[in-house]
Chains A and B, each alone.
Chain A
């Protein structure tokens, strides 16, 4: 073989490997996309199908399924419950975490870093699943079983360490000269907090607020254990009741309800994800 032909052969085999690689890439991406997409198609199609079944099929277009949500005695209420629980969790965590994060960021408290890491460690160890028994017991003993307050307190306690940590990190990046400047003009600590720190830290606060909403909205286990009364249960628990209760599952209701329950959190998530990027994922689900 001459050098020229050898080079040609080499080049041909290079092209061949590249082609196989390219083909493999396309096949892999296609298969994975199908794997992820197939289960979700039902959620997009069935709510608009006049006669939904378990299978994915071209729908008989209708919006009547959404009326079912209003017809059901619990469905609409459960969305309201979800809103109330999420709202309570956000209000509680954001207010407590803002105060704590600000003080931790600005005042030298001995053992501060150890405290923060300890709290983070605690929240990753004491998960909802591992602590479901004592949590149930505690809420029982406090007489908060079957109350939304109990759910809000337990969820808030669980996500507070992460929220404080994120917010403290954020506040560390806010220049201290803002506060020093306000302080020189005679502003007191609360005034500084209200006029300067909270407005300047607004993106960080918005971020943790959204994060908390997503957490609370999607949480199944805590309300599942602590709430027995279906008029108090949030959408996540009711959804489970819908498809596990005896008798024929009402697929019109389930499909429409699934979509209404899912859509807000997906929309929020993609909006925030676009704005904040990967930071949003750390410990999103527990």
Chain B
């Protein structure tokens, strides 16, 4: 079993800054797990701590049942694909893939055979004699992957695996990576700052900020039931509408209107300050007033192809919604926005934690 258990992990730098500040994570055997967050949130430091490339200040790390907290990186059964791939420029593809085997003193013939077989599996068959400098970005990435899996590691770590590819190639590589992980069934952790990448690839996502985990959950959970406003605004291709409001008699006063409140998970008194949230994708508009709707004036319409992003002003507040391109309103038009109450969320204005809505 190569599940990963991380308990109260702290990485403190000599200057006192905590890169990772008390993190608990459990990754199941064979799981595809994403560490997601803005730059500087500690996700890479956490990944490197698991690899053993960073020393751990406090806490414990187990892979399977073995305590790996202070074990030399090479003895952890962990492989890693670096953001810059770290392919050795002086070795050809075959030698690069076989390097881990060379370290383990595997005989040369066997090394070559393994390298060839692994390369074949990743469609690198014809490239064994090339140097990394002669390969495209996508090919380099696959060589790095081949090298990482050639030794059948217990845990595979990927640092921003797609960030060095151009946009078109990224989509292709995304599918490829997901397929590969499923085929190998190896416990895989990857770091990314791109929420779409995390959503598309991962079985579960840990959203991080300032060295702490904000939420761990499936893509569906973090999307529909974000634990706090940070997760709510970080996940999703369009930022969630988050507007200040007030609870009043089972309803929310927001945008100068009174809207139905979602089911509260915490008891709060009337007048409690909240943040009301709804994703732009769940808002619809109409040209005439409807019950429980908000009046606004359209200020910008951005065409996104099949859909359009509508930016509107309701009093001082701004509201975004994504609608079908054919049915987009005109700029300057008076519209009424409405949304299903199940799709709305309430957050505490002070703690920013979610207190209502969600699945």
**Is B74 within 8 A of A186, CB to CB?**
yes
Contacts of B61-97 to chain A: CB distance below 8 A: 73-75, 78-80, 82-84, 86, 88-90
**Is A175 within 8 A of B86, CB to CB?**
yes
Enumerate chain A residues within 8 angstroms of B75, measured Cβ to Cβ.
186
Asked if A196 meets B88 with Cβ closer than 8 Å, knowing A180-B53, A187-B74, the reply is yes
Enumerate chain B residues within 8 angstroms of A200, measured Cβ to Cβ.
88-90
Shortest A271–chain B CB gap in Å is 21
Enumerate chain A residues within 8 angstroms of B90, measured Cβ to Cβ.
199-200, 202
Shortest B78–chain A CB gap in Å is 6
Kindly supply a per-residue 1/0 record for chain A positions 177-195, scoring 1 wherever the CB is within 8 Å of any chain B CB and 0 otherwise: 1101111111110010001
The CA of A196 and the CA of B103, in the complex, are separated in Å by 12
B151 in the interface (beta carbon within 8 A): yes
> Please, which residue of chain A has its CB at the minimum distance from the CB of B99?
A185
Shortest B12–chain A CB gap in Å is 15
Asked if A184 meets B99 with Cβ closer than 8 Å, knowing A177-B86, A200-B89, A202-B90, the reply is no
Enumerate chain A residues within 8 angstroms of B51, measured Cβ to Cβ.
180, 184
**Is A181 within 8 A of B89, CB to CB?**
no
Considering residues B52, B75, B90, which has the most beta carbons from chain A within 10 angstroms of its beta carbon?
Answer: B90
**Is A185 within 8 A of B100, CB to CB?**
yes
**Is A183 within 8 A of B74, CB to CB?**
yes
12 extra A-B contacts, CB within 8 A, seeds A177-B84, A181-B80, A185-B99: A178-B88, A183-B73, A184-B51, A184-B52, A184-B74, A184-B79, A185-B74, A185-B104, A185-B151, A188-B74, A191-B103, A199-B88
Enumerate chain B residues within 8 angstroms of A196, measured Cβ to Cβ.
88
Asked if A195 meets B100 with Cβ closer than 8 Å, knowing A183-B73, A185-B79, the reply is no
> Please, which residue of chain A has its CB at the minimum distance from the CB of B100?
A185
**Is A186 within 8 A of B89, CB to CB?**
no
The CA of A183 and the CA of B74, in the complex, are separated in Å by 6
Asked if A184 meets B53 with Cβ closer than 8 Å, knowing A177-B82, A195-B99, the reply is yes
The CA of A200 and the CA of B88, in the complex, are separated in Å by 8
Enumerate chain A residues within 8 angstroms of B78, measured Cβ to Cβ.
184
Interchain CB contact (< 8 A) of A186 among B83, B86, B104: B104
The CA of A140 and the CA of B127, in the complex, are separated in Å by 61
Contacts of A162-212 to chain B: CB distance below 8 A: 175, 177-178, 180-188, 191, 195-196, 199-200, 202
Enumerate chain A residues within 8 angstroms of B73, measured Cβ to Cβ.
180, 183-184
> Please, which residue of chain A has its CB at the minimum distance from the CB of B78?
A184
Interchain CB contact (< 8 A) of B84 among A175, A186, A191: A175
- Which A residues have a C-beta under 8 Å from some C-beta of B? 175, 177-178, 180-188, 191, 195-196, 199-200, 202
Shortest B100–chain A CB gap in Å is 4
Between A and B, how many residue pairs show CB distances below 8 Å?
57
Enumerate chain B residues within 8 angstroms of A191, measured Cβ to Cβ.
103
Enumerate chain B residues within 8 angstroms of A199, measured Cβ to Cβ.
88, 90
Shortest B81–chain A CB gap in Å is 9
Enumerate chain B residues within 8 angstroms of A181, measured Cβ to Cβ.
80, 82, 86
Enumerate chain A residues within 8 angstroms of B52, measured Cβ to Cβ.
184
**Is A182 within 8 A of B103, CB to CB?**
yes
> Please, which residue of chain B has its CB at the minimum distance from the CB of A199?
B90
Enumerate chain B residues within 8 angstroms of A180, measured Cβ to Cβ.
51, 53, 73, 80, 82, 86
> Please, which residue of chain A has its CB at the minimum distance from the CB of B89?
A200
> Please, which residue of chain B has its CB at the minimum distance from the CB of A187?
B103
Enumerate chain B residues within 8 angstroms of A184, measured Cβ to Cβ.
51-53, 73-74, 78-80
12 contacts between A and B (CB under 8 A): A175-B86, A177-B86, A180-B53, A183-B74, A184-B73, A185-B99, A185-B103, A186-B100, A195-B102, A199-B88, A199-B90, A200-B90
**Is A186 within 8 A of B103, CB to CB?**
yes
The CA of A180 and the CA of B53, in the complex, are separated in Å by 7
Shortest A147–chain B CB gap in Å is 38
> Please, which residue of chain B has its CB at the minimum distance from the CB of A202?
B90
> Please, which residue of chain B has its CB at the minimum distance from the CB of A183?
B73
The CA of A185 and the CA of B104, in the complex, are separated in Å by 8
> Please, which residue of chain B has its CB at the minimum distance from the CB of A174?
B89
The CA of A180 and the CA of B84, in the complex, are separated in Å by 12
**Is B86 within 8 A of A178, CB to CB?**
yes
The CA of A200 and the CA of B86, in the complex, are separated in Å by 11
Enumerate chain B residues within 8 angstroms of A195, measured Cβ to Cβ.
88, 99, 102
Nearest 9 interchain pairs by C-beta:
A186-B74, A185-B100, A177-B86, A199-B90, A181-B86, A177-B82, A187-B103, A186-B103, A185-B103
The CA of A191 and the CA of B86, in the complex, are separated in Å by 17
> Please, which residue of chain B has its CB at the minimum distance from the CB of A185?
B100
Shortest B95–chain A CB gap in Å is 10
The CA of A178 and the CA of B99, in the complex, are separated in Å by 12
The CA of A187 and the CA of B52, in the complex, are separated in Å by 14
Shortest B293–chain A CB gap in Å is 54
